Amino acid sequence: MSETNSSITSIKKILPLILATAIFMQMLDSTILNTSLPSIAKDLKESPLNMQNAIISYVLTLAVFMPASGFLADRFGTKRVFIFSLVLFSLGSLFCALSQNLTHLVISRVIQGVGGSLMTPVGKLALIKTFDKNELLKAMNFAIIPALIGPVLGPLVGGYMVDYLSWHWIFLINIPIGILGIVLGFKFMPNYKSADVDFDLKGFMIFAAASLLLSISLELFGDLQNTTPVLLVFILGFLFLYYYYKHAKRGGNPIFPLNLFQVRTFRVGIVGNLATRLGISAVPLLLPLMIQIAYKQSAVTSGWIVAPMALTAIFGKSSVIKILDKFGYRQTLMVNTFIIGTLICMLAIPNINTSLFWFIPIIAVLGFFNSIQFTSMNTISIADLRNFQTSSGNSLISVNQQLAIGFGIAFGLIVLKIFESTDLIKGEIHNAFRYTFLTVGILTILSGLVFRRLHISDGKNMQSKDH
């Protein structure tokens, strides 16, 4: 018995680390390519504008395959699917580094995307099923840190690798991390399965089509020269979502059962995630853009100014459990969202003659509160899910987060383009960024009202034993 207990203890120690490894690779990979596209384009003798396909192919693959992650884990076991996803991701990374032309690179990114779409949701599912509700907050809190650090470090690491090594290292860096994850996965990843699994192929196809169309429209929203086809694709995506809703209502065993939305904390968590990430996801894109375009600084300089966000996120991790234990989820999320929105508005204060150092304390404080926000939203979403709902609920949360990040980036770019074309900015691009931060910040403050739907006692079952 004591041997079993010690193996459970060692699994509980290592499992958050395994998930953190997966999240870090996926998050780093979603952003590391951005700063390196011109260099890759030159080497592959392609136009830098065509290189966007290498990013889009990865994002779209995630959107299509993520909905199936819960079913695959239930059918084949969390351990098998997780290790398979790491092997695929690592192989995809190797093929990316060996690519001789853009077609090779896009195919390799699709292989990576299939691995990435399963890696994080399945790792998270294993974590949810291993830990008791009152231990889960602590475990999730540790595993989620790479999700905050990855998008910030990605452009910085990418910039340095391209400048001092070569673009191939952007992909090769994944291989040792992937091998570490595979070794740890074989030893410590539990293999949860579900005896009663029936795959809703029709529902999967409808939902995957909706995710794909929405992702395509979000990727294309940055180019506002030709809005009509983009809006049509966007509306079509929502029509497919409605079609899925009608399909799931008919009963059977839908891939995402509608009874998930009868769980109030899940419903608030999903809507809150979507609403608050509109502002939060726009900042890591808008601030480096402003520093490079308006202040005429290098990509590496902009990377360093955003980097403190990653450091303070780690400090936020150590405080979030105490904060949630003291104030509860409702008060924490409402106040925290207000603070984040106010900080985003503060990015609009400096004018073109203000020192760039002005941004560093704002960004540093923002990283701290983002950390609290993500941990709180992720844990309240699963707080009241029953055992039979965890696989589908966890997959839907992953898809929702992926789309929310895309919505945030697209929304930030649309607002920026609108201000750019008005008389308000008087020909100064810097003012367009300032008005964008103000708009995005105010909307983030308003999004905190979503969390009023929570009850004061919500999430009590998630609170740690230590407090």
| d(C-alpha 194, C-alpha 201), whole Å | 18
Long-range contacts of residues 229-233, Cβ cutoff 8 Å, at least 24 apart: none
The model's confidence at residue 421, banded by pLDDT at 50, 70 and 90, is: confident
Tell me, what's the pLDDT at 2? 42
> What confidence category does residue 466 fall into, taking pLDDT thresholds of 50, 70 and 90?
very low
CATH of 259-467, one of 1.20.1250.20, 3.40.50.1360, 3.40.640.10, 3.30.1360.120: 1.20.1250.20
pLDDT of residue 196: 65
Q: What is the pLDDT of residues 285-301, one digit of tens each?
A: 788 778 877 787 776 77
d(CA 385, CA 324): 19
- DSSP, collapsed to helix, strand or coil, labels residue 188 as helix
Determine the pLDDT at residue 231: 81
Cα radius of gyration (the chain): 21
Rounded distance between C-alpha atoms, residue 206 and residue 199, angstroms: 13
Question: What is the pLDDT, as a whole number, of residue 426?
Answer: 65
Please count the other Cβ atoms lying within 10 Å of the Cβ belonging to residue 181.
29
Residue with the two structure tokens 């991790």: 317
Q: Do domains 1-196 and 259-467 have the same CATH topology?
A: yes
Buried b (16+ CB within 10 A) or exposed e, 275-311: bbbbbbbbbbbbbbbbbeebbebebbebbbbbbbbbe
| Domain edges within the chain | 1-196, 200-254, 259-467
Quickly state the pLDDT bin for 3 (edges 50, 70, 90): very low
Q: What is the pLDDT of residue 427?
A: 64
* ∠ CA 87-93-97, rounded to 5°: 145
Average pLDDT, the chain: 80
CATH, domain range 1-196: 1.20.1250.20
- Give the C-alpha separation, 155 to 35, whole Å: 6
Tell me the percentage of the chain whose pLDDT exceeds 70.
87
Does 163 or 180 have the greater pLDDT score? 180
Q: What's the CA gap between 417 and 401, in Å, rounded?
A: 24
Residue 460 confidence (pLDDT) above 70? yes
pLDDT in tens, 190-212: 787 776 667 777 888 888 888 88
The larger pLDDT score, comparing residue 53 to residue 79, is at 79
